Amino acid sequence: MTATDRAIDLVRVAARAADAKQGDDIVALDVSGPLPLADAFVLVTGRNERNVQAIAAEVEEKMIEAGAKPLRREGRAEGRWILLDFGDVIVHVFHEEERLFYSLERLWKDCPVIPLDLSEHASAADTP
């Protein structure tokens, strides 16, 4: 089984939103095979607690604009690891230390990576 087209579209919405708030090391994984609860994870790192919170807020806003309904949010107050559950897509916004410690990429290493062409988005945003 692979992620649906809708899930992949939402992954890209989340990734662009995270990128717009200077999220680092943005990775999307197709977890639809081993995980029946979701199609994809988006993993992103923030530089500090405020950046993590800003990234999560932007992701949530853009996902809602794209028609995704937030089902659950966790960790917003601490700003260390914020989980945003949109059903088919789950976004994890980490502080650098938490990302290294929990190492979700290692846990889900057998899952295919969903390509994100953020360089195109960044160059379009840089154009006056």
Mean pLDDT, rounded, for 46-68: 97
Tens-digit pLDDT profile for residues 72-106: 999 988 999 999 999 999 999 999 999 999 999 99
pLDDT at 124 > cutoff 60: no
Amino acid (1-letter code) at residue 49: E
Quickly state the pLDDT bin for 117 (edges 50, 70, 90): confident
The pTM of the full predicted model, rounded to 2 decimals, is 0.90
% of the chain with per-residue pLDDT over 90: 84
As a whole number, mean pLDDT of residues 57-61 equals: 98
Give percent of the chain above pLDDT 70: 91
Query: Which helix (H) or strand (E) is 89 found in, with range?
Result: strand 89-95
Q: Which domains does the chain have, with CATH numbers?
A: 5-117 (3.30.460.10)
pLDDT of 62 higher than 60: yes
